[in-house]
Amino acid sequence: MNYEIVETTVRGPGVSEDDWDDEFRGCDCENECSAANECTCLISKLDNYSENALFLSTPQLLVECSSNCACSLLPTSCRNRVVQNGVKKNIEIFSTSEKGSGARACEPIRAGEFVCEYAGECIGEDEVTRRCQEFKDQDNYTLTLKEHFGERTVKTFLDPRIRGNIGRFLNHSCDPNCEVVVVRLGKMIPTAGIFAKRDIQIGEELCYDYGMSGIEGDNRKLCHCKAATCRKYLPMSATPIE
């Protein structure tokens, strides 16, 4: 469990400074940033978050307001900042019986509440492949965000193995209580926010679905999520960058 703690995603090997620094323009809102007030950061013209910061599903890009926005001078009027405010819920790391370490709730979490970022290094394809070789007998931490823009699929790789936060301890479940949401914190390069999919009780393990498996067969790790709908194996991609 030797890793450096970072509060948010950082630029890692294989991601250029230019790509990393590419930012959205920012809004000119003088009043609350909301769809009703036509905040330009709300790309889909729908609110990303409710007035009490609950995630509302968004069909396109979820862009939070940033230091480029006029509202950064009036931060209390901006309700379009959740992931960037960091972890607010009390969650802890614990030892599970069959999945290594995990994370669990120390207080109730409501459906739609932000749990934590999946913070880590944003790395390039070659580095994903290299790390996969180097750490091949160990837990896998790389989260691949896949976004579809027309015919084009853009992948972003987040790896909290070396630098990360508590998000790296969330295990997989085939019937999860959390979900990963692709969020842009004013930058073109996305980050991953983990939100509660349903109400979560104190002591419940926090899990999300690692995704569909790219390969079939028995040559995969067994899933120990114990859900009634368990798919038996942990999702596994055909290649490290799938």
The binding site for ligand SAM (CB under 6 A) comprises 99-102, 139-141, 168-169, 171-172, 221, 223-225, 234
Question: Which residue, among 232, 169, 152, has the nearest Cα to 205 in the 3D structure?
Answer: 169
Kindly tell me which of 82 and 234 has the beta carbon lying closer to ligand SAM: 234
Contact between 230 and 179 (Cβ < 8 Å): no
Shortest CB 127 distance to ligand SAM, Å:
17
Instruction: Give the nearest distance from C-beta 14 to ligand SAM in angstroms.
Output: 20
Q: How many CB atoms lie within 10 A of CB 144?
A: 17
- Could you give the 3-state DSSP secondary structure of residue 68? coil
* Polymer length of the chain: 242
- Residue found under tokens 């009027």: 77
Instruction: Select 23 or 130, whichever has its Cβ closest to ligand SAM.
Output: 130
Q: How far is the CB of 169 from ligand SAM (least distance, A)?
A: 5
Tell me how crowded residue 4 is: count the other CB atoms within 10 A of its CB: 11
Per DSSP, the three-state class of 207 is: strand
Nearer to ligand SAM, 25 or 232 (CB): 232
HEC string for 152-177: EEEEEEEECCCEECHHHHCEECCCCC
Name the minimum Å distance from CB 158 to ligand SAM. Answer: 11
Pairing verdict, β 121-123 and 10-11: parallel
Q: How far is the CB of 32 from ligand SAM (least distance, A)?
A: 37
- Measured from the CB atom, the residue of 49 and 157 that comes closer to ligand SAM is 157
CB closer to ligand SAM out of 29 and 145: 145
Cβ atoms within 10 Å of 240's Cβ, excluding its own: 18
Smaller CB distance to ligand SAM: residue 2 or 52? 2
Q: CA-to-CA distance for 171 and 216, rounded, in angstroms? A: 20
Name the closest residue to ligand SAM (Cβ).
100
Distance in Å, CB of 240 to ligand SAM, minimum: 13
What residue has token string 């579809």? Answer: 148
